[in-house]
Amino acid sequence: MYLTAEFEETNSTAAAILALKTQGMEAQALDVFSTEPVEFAAGVLDRPSRMSLFAVAGAVALCLLSVGFVYYTQHDLPIITGGMPFFSFWATGVIFYEFALLGAIVVTFLTMLWESGLLRRSGPAPELQPGRIYLRVRCRPEQEAAAAESLDRAGTLRIERTESDS
Amino acid sequence: MTTVPAAAIPRLQSREDLWRPLRGASRPYIVAVALAALAVAWGLIAWGYQIHQGIGVAGIRRPVMWGFYIVNFVFWIGISHAGTLISAILRLTHAGWRRPVTRVAEAITVFALMIGGLFPLIHLGRVWLFYWLVPYPNERGLWPNFRSPLVWDLTAIFTYLTGSVIYLYLPLIPDLAELSRKTGGWRARLYGLLCLGWTGSDRQWRALERAMKLMAGIILAVAVSVHTVVAWDFAMSLAPTWHSTIFGPYFVVGAIFSGIAALLLVMAIARKALRLESYLQPMHFENLSRLLVLMSLLWFYFTVAENLTVWYGNEPQEMSVFGARVRGPYAPYFWVMVLCNFVVPFVLLGVRRLRSIRTATISAVAVLVGMWLERYLIIVPTLATPRLAAAWGSYSPTWVEISITSATFAAMTLLYLIFAKLFPIIAIWEYHHVSDG
């Protein structure tokens, strides 16, 4: 089941998150919703990311692919070049550079889609009001009372209960 | 130009202000769309005529085989630096005042690239054979020449366009999600589809902000390379005044310069037409005007460095082009270029007392004219004055080239008018997001 608490400002939301974590709730069970990004201090609700790593991997992958593509394409057609090299690494460096950046761009976009959970449904999302912050807690029925108490103590405006994802 | 403190506009008010332009269509809007569409249609007719009759209907003749089409290509690719590059620099430096400016700028980039990217196809004449240029492994007996800067262009522009579309789209997603809930009918369906199920969760915000930061860094590297590669289209040849080591940075500076001018002009029009005076404040024009003056000085420095070395070297072939530019048949264009790119912005925006939104707009128009002339003066005089004096020639554009050129300006207007009617021109969530200064 889900509890969704509405808050007016960041500090009380952070206090609620810390209280819930103290009770044993995992960060994976907590989600904050808002119409603008909300920034908490480090350690409150961290979301580790591998986006930069994937971007670099994407750049390297597409760069290598372009090197292979250019090499293969230039050798695919036997042609007499009067002793000139078929494949010139330096003269085609711009292409490898551009493909490396294209790889980084595309992989960053795909990683963003994956890490954000877009295109996937994950529990009920609250109806957002501009300027308000919503903290959604996924908990078992036996945890509900303690979680609601923590949310109340942190200064929530109201709490909504939802039984399932539907 | 006085600096008005950033107005603390309530969130609901800002939504009303920024969503208002999306509703209905005023008479001036419909007239503007109709006029722009007519001009675009005329340009398409001219292009159709060229395809039917052959490239001979254009004014490009030996030795000037690159005319208006390539001038326009370089000009529009330069304008494309308005958005993504400027937005990326401001984002990376956490310039707080950027917030109402970024989307206006990013949209310019996408449209300018779409228009600029068309010109190599138009210039090709037999546009249906375009795929012959695409260097895929083939058995048609064509040897794809990856060493040609023109193929470098293809990859650079494709990467820049892909990156710019994503860079424009990503920060639109949260606004689209809000709009899908607040609108109805086809708009709600369109926004609902484009927002990809955005709910505003912290995972989504963090992923979005991380992606935007990364993209800003990557896009900077792409943007600089794109115009450097465009410069290398010229500099890699041994034509007089083209074979220059500073052409790359010279083109990048010129591109950012014309990009800022385009941004100022679009901002001034959007401010008036969409009644966004509370958002696009004098402060934004002031800051961009300063940048424009800085770029004007840099452009002047590069122009002097480029021409002084040619003049001092006194190499006969280069001096022929230099002479044609500064005191020959192209001299009027050259001196108008200097007036537009240096004197006008330096006087109107450099003197504090004269600086205003109006003078910023006048300077922006002057710079756009001046930068188009600069592209013309780089390309045409060099081709008209090749090393062999017996091969010298001249170039006069025909009605086909003039029509297509005019149509591209109309196309930019039309695309922007449609964009401003479909999407909020200022990112609402970014406007209220204060944590990054």
- Beta carbons within 10 angstroms of residue B221's beta carbon: 17
| Closest Cβ–Cβ partner in A79, A109, A116 for B203 | A116
- Per-residue buried b or exposed e for B382-421, using 16+ beta carbons within 10 Å of the residue's own CB: bbbbbeeeeeeeebebbebbebbbebbbbbbbbbbbebbe
- Residue B6 — pLDDT band, cuts 50, 70, 90? very low
- Residue B14 — pLDDT band, cuts 50, 70, 90? confident
Q: Is position A121 within any domain?
A: no
Inter-chain contact B429–A113, Cβ cutoff 8 Å? Answer: no
Q: Check residue B96 and give its pLDDT.
A: 75
Residue of chain A whose alpha carbon sits nearest to that of B139: A77
Q: Check residue A124 and give its pLDDT.
A: 86
Residue A120 forms contact with B (CB below 8 Å) = yes
Beta carbons of B121 and B130 less than 8 angstroms apart: yes
- Residue B437 — pLDDT band, cuts 50, 70, 90? very low
Q: Which residue has the higher pLDDT, B5 or B349?
A: B349
Q: Is residue B316 pLDDT above 50, yes or no?
A: yes
Average pLDDT of B306-330?
Answer: 93
Q: Is position A29 within any domain?
A: yes
Separation in Å, CA of B243 to nearest CA in chain A? 17
Beta carbons of B259 and B80 less than 8 angstroms apart: yes
| Closest Cβ–Cβ partner in B11, B209, B229 for A37 | B209
- Between strands A158-162 and A30-34, the pairing is unpaired
Q: Is position A43 within any domain?
A: no
Chain A residues whose beta carbon lies within 8 Å of the beta carbon of residue B147: 88, 91-92
Inter-chain contact B144–A106, Cβ cutoff 8 Å? Answer: no
Q: Is residue A76 pLDDT above 80, yes or no?
A: no
Residue A150 and residue A95 share a domain: no
Q: Is position A99 within any domain?
A: yes
Name the percent of chain B lying above pLDDT 90: 63
Inter-chain contact B156–A98, Cβ cutoff 8 Å? Answer: yes
* DSSP H or E segment with residue B414: helix B399-422
Q: Check residue B17 and give its pLDDT.
A: 82
In chain B, the domains with their CATH numbers are 11-127+145-432 (1.20.1630.10)
Q: Is position A108 within any domain?
A: yes
- Residue B306 — pLDDT band, cuts 50, 70, 90? very high
Give per-residue pLDDT as tens, A114-160. 999 887 877 888 888 888 999 999 988 888 899 999 899 988 898 88
Residue A10 and residue A64 share a domain: no
Q: Which residue has the higher pLDDT, B431 or B365?
A: B365
| Closest Cβ–Cβ partner in B166, B178, B219 for A35 | B178
Residue A138 and residue A102 share a domain: no
Average model confidence (pLDDT) across chain A: 88
* DSSP H or E segment with residue B47: helix B27-53
Inter-chain contact A45–B135, Cβ cutoff 8 Å? Answer: no
Q: Is residue B93 pLDDT above 70, yes or no?
A: yes
User: What is the pTM for the complete model shown?
Assistant: 0.90
Residue A60 and residue A12 share a domain: no
Chain B residues whose beta carbon lies within 8 Å of the beta carbon of residue A117: 201, 203-204
Inter-chain contact A109–B166, Cβ cutoff 8 Å? Answer: yes
Inter-chain contact B155–A94, Cβ cutoff 8 Å? Answer: yes
| Interface predicted TM-score of the whole assembly (ipTM), two decimals | 0.91
Residue A20 and residue A58 share a domain: no
Separation in Å, CA of A59 to nearest CA in chain B? 10
Residue A60 and residue A24 share a domain: no
Residue A106 and residue A138 share a domain: no
Please report, for the domain that includes residue A7, its CATH number: 3.30.70
Average pLDDT of A82-87?
Answer: 70
Separation in Å, CA of A66 to nearest CA in chain B? 11
Q: Check residue A166 and give its pLDDT.
A: 45
Average pLDDT of A49-62?
Answer: 96
Question: ω before B63 within 30° of 0 (cis)?
Answer: yes
Beta carbons of B224 and B80 less than 8 angstroms apart: no
Residue A112 and residue A61 share a domain: yes
Residue A136 and residue A112 share a domain: no
Q: Is position A154 within any domain?
A: yes
Q: What is the largest CA-CA distance in chain B?
A: 71
Distances (CA, A) of B40 to B47, B79, B111, B200, B410: 10, 19, 14, 40, 6
Give per-residue pLDDT as tens, A91-121. 889 999 999 999 999 999 999 999 998 878 7
Residue A92 forms contact with B (CB below 8 Å) = yes
Outline where B195-281 has alpha helix (H). Answer: 202-235, 247-273
- Per-residue buried b or exposed e for B156-168, using 16+ beta carbons within 10 Å of the residue's own CB: bbbbbbbbbbbbb
Separation in Å, CA of B12 to nearest CA in chain A? 7
Backbone angles phi, psi at A127, to 5 degrees: -75, 115
Chain A residues whose beta carbon lies within 8 Å of the beta carbon of residue B176: none
Domain count, chain A: 2
Residue A92 and residue A62 share a domain: yes
B109 closest CA partner among B89, B134, B131 = B89
Question: Can you give the residue range of the structural domain that contains A17?
Answer: 2-35+132-162
Q: Is residue B3 pLDDT above 50, yes or no?
A: no
- Beta carbons within 10 angstroms of residue A99's beta carbon: 23
Average model confidence (pLDDT) across chain B: 89
- Residue B139 — pLDDT band, cuts 50, 70, 90? low
Q: Which residue has the higher pLDDT, B87 or B27?
A: B27
Residue A55 and residue A31 share a domain: no
Q: Check residue B72 and give its pLDDT.
A: 95
Beta carbons of B104 and B425 less than 8 angstroms apart: yes
Residue A112 and residue A56 share a domain: yes
Give per-residue pLDDT as tens, B219-270. 999 999 998 999 998 998 888 899 999 999 999 999 999 999 999 999 999 9
Give per-residue pLDDT as tens, B190-230. 999 999 999 999 999 999 999 999 999 999 999 999 989 99
